[in-house]
């Protein structure tokens, strides 16, 4: 395609809303607007990726050479501006959205169940306050979370160990949609907010994390303002309708597969159950491939394999030979972006670097006098003078050369 047909608009400066280098270059190269809307050039890139995904199928992401993390259903790209939080095991590759990620829990040491004891705990509104006040570790406390299930009005009492966070996604996976209980709903069940306990509730659906039955002698609420119960034991003092994994995995939790430490990373979702998000994939490509001058898109990810340009001559027509090359490269199945503007060489070189096609071909007066044109790989400093007759084979050779090194 031709530069003028695509109405490409490159920018000198990075937009001030750019939070990542890759996005800044996507805007500067004219693939997307500052508002992240694809331009005509961007549409070409997206269409190209779409086609590539159908042709390459399973090897699509490896061909793009982007460092994805994935599980059976979903493919993510770690990025600090990513919309999702993903738990990932660097050791074995386990990957899941943080709200549903599993991890290996370690049960508290076994203890004899001690008699329950009511203790005054004034002004202890949080687990932190409570643990400090009683001078016990947070894992010796129980955290109550109170919900109502709108579907049938059922009061849902969820409990996890005090050192852990409830995953609402996991809770909803078990009991369906819930919303925080109102003070009236809490009072009706017999619980007291801030001092809630599952002991002696009326008409409540009690659901506890699977660590709770293995955590003896916990401190839980006494259902009385200002009081807690020490030595509350599952089975003896109360039981639950559902015992299941309810808590959120975190960075530093142990991997459920291999036991190594998990990481938490921000990420974008690139594909889910065979549905690709090509805008995110284009963004991931840009974040993975750039240098200080612009994008350095690899073949076959780049929408155009070759950035072809002519340097307007003083005594010779350089545009017609460039147009001929354009035809012959395209006939050979090479995707070419022909910069057909009568601009200075410097302007075009800058744009070529920004747009990031793997190969640049420059048709200039001096070369033409020897029947040659200049070929430069985007990621190399070296300019090669190649005979016009050899250009298709040289470009093909570069594009399909086995990759050396890693990025
Ligand atoms: Zn692992």
Q: Ligand 1 centre and the CA of 88: distance in Å?
A: 8
Average pLDDT over residues 73-84: 96
pLDDT of residue 18: 85
CA of 267 to the centre of ligand 1 (A): 18
Query: For residue range 154-180, what is the model confidence (pLDDT) as tens digits?
Result: 999 999 999 999 999 999 999 999 999
- Going from the C-alpha of 174 to that of each of 142, 163, 201, the distances in angstroms are 20, 22, 20
Rounded distance from Cα 246 to ligand 1 centre (Å):
20
Mean pLDDT of the region 42-50: 97
**Mean confidence (pLDDT) of the chain:** 94
Distance 229 CA to ligand 1 centre (A): 38
Average pLDDT over every residue of 37-59? 95
Q: What is the pLDDT at residue 404?
A: 58
Measured in Å, residue 59 CA sits from the centre of ligand 1 at 23
Cα(159) to ligand 1 centroid in Å equals 27
Distance from the alpha carbon of residue 273 to the mean position of ligand 1, in angstroms: 22
Average pLDDT, stretch 329-355? 96
Contact 287, 79 (CB under 8 A): yes
Nearest residue to 267 (alpha-carbon basis) of 252, 254, 280, 286: 280
Distance 211 CA to ligand 1 centre (A): 21
Q: How confident is the model at residue 402 (pLDDT cuts 50, 70, 90)?
A: confident
Task: Answer whether residue 125 shows pLDDT above 90.
Answer: no
**Band of residue 407 on the pLDDT scale cut at 50, 70, 90:** very low
Which two tokens mark 327? 């035809």
Please report, for residues 117, 247, 296, the alpha-carbon distance to residue 232 in angstroms, rounded to integers and kept in the order given: 8, 20, 61
The answer to whether residue 405 scores a pLDDT higher than 80 is no
241 Cα to the center of ligand 1, angstroms = 31
**Stretch 97-126: mean pLDDT:** 92
Q: How far is the CA of 269 from the centre of ligand 1 (A)?
A: 21
78 C-alpha to center of ligand 1: Å?
Answer: 17
* pLDDT tens digit sequence for 173-186: 999 999 999 999 99
Distance 110 CA to ligand 1 centre (A): 27
What spacing in Å lies between the alpha carbon of 103 and ligand 1's midpoint? 9
**Residue 394 to residue 186: CA distance in whole angstroms:** 75
Cα(95) to centroid(ligand 1), Å = 9
**What percent of the chain shows pLDDT beyond 70?**
99
**What does the pLDDT average to over 132-161?**
96
Could you tell me the distance, in angstroms and rounded to a whole number, from the CA of residue 65 to the centre of ligand 1? 23
What is the mean pLDDT of the segment spanning 316-321?
94
Answer whether residue 108 shows pLDDT above 50. yes
CA of 227 to the centre of ligand 1 (A): 42
DSSP 21-88: HHHHHHHHTTSB-TTS-B-HHHHHHHHHHHHHHHHHGGGHHHHHT---EE-SSEEEEE-TT-SEEEEE
pLDDT, tens digit, 9 for 90 and up, residues 250-295:
999 999 999 999 999 999 999 999 899 999 999 999 999 999 999 9
CA of 58 to the centre of ligand 1 (A): 23
CA angle 250, 70, 41 (to 5 degrees): 120
* Each residue's pLDDT tens digit, 230-256: 999 999 999 999 999 999 999 999 999
> Residue with structure tokens 């022909």?
338
Average pLDDT for residues 349-373, to the nearest whole number? 96
Q: How far is the CA of 404 from the centre of ligand 1 (A)?
A: 29
Ligand 1 centroid to Cα of residue 261, in Å, is 7
94-112 burial code (b ≥16 CB/10 A, e <16): bbbbbbebbbebeebeeee
Ligand 1 mean position, distance from CA 167 (Å):
21
The predicted pLDDT at position 403 comes to: 67
Please check the confidence at residue 12 and state whether its pLDDT lies above 50: yes
């Amino acid at each position: 395609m031709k530069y003028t047909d695509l109405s490409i608009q490159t920018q000198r400066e990075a937009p001030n809303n750019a939070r990542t280098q890759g996005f800044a270059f996507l805007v500067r190269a004219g693939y997307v607007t500052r508002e992240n809307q694809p331009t005509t050039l961007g549409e070409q890139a997206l269409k190209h990726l779409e086609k590539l995904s159908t042709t390459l199928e399973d090897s699509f992401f490896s061909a793009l050479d982007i460092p994805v993390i994935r599980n059976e259903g979903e493919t993510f790209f770690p990025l600090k501006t990513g919309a999702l939080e993903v738990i990932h095991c660097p050791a074995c590759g386990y990957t899941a959205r943080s709200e549903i990620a599993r991890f290996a829990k370690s049960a508290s040491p076994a203890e004899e169940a001690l008699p329950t004891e009511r203790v005054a705990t004034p002004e202890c509104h949080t687990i932190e306050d409570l643990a400090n006040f009683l001078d016990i570790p947070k894992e010796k406390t129980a955290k109550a979370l109170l919900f109502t299930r709108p579907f049938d009005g059922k009061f849902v009492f969820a409990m996890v160990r005090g050192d852990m966070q409830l995953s609402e996604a996991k809770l909803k996976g078990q009991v369906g949609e819930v919303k925080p209980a109102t003070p009236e709903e809490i009072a009706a069940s017999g619980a007291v907010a801030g001092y809630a306990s599952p002991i002696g509730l009326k008409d409540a659906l009690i659901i506890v994390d699977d660590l709770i039955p293995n955590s003896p002698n916990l401190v839980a609420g006494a259902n009385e303002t200002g009081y807690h119960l020490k030595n509350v034991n599952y089975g003896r003092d109360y039981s639950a309708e559902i015992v299941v994994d309810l808590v959120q995995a975190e960075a530093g939790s142990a991997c459920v597969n291999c036991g190594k430490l998990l990481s938490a990373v921000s990420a974008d979702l690139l594909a889910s159950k065979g549905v690709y998000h090509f805008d995110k994939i284009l963004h991931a490509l840009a974040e993975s491939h750039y240098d200080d001058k612009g994008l350095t898109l690899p073949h076959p990810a780049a929408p155009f394999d070759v950035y072809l340009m002519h340097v307007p001559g003083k005594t010779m027509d350089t545009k017609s030979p460039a147009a001929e090359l354009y035809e012959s490269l395209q006939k050979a199945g090479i995707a070419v972006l022909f910069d057909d503007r009568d601009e200075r060489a410097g302007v075009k070189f800058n744009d070529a670097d920004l747009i990031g096609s793997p190969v640049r071909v420059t048709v200039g007066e001096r070369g033409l006098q020897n029947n040659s044109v200049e070929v430069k790989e985007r990621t190399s400093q070296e300019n090669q003078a190649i005979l016009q007759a050899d250009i298709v084979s040289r470009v093909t050779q570069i594009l399909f050369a086995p990759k050396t090194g890693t990025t």
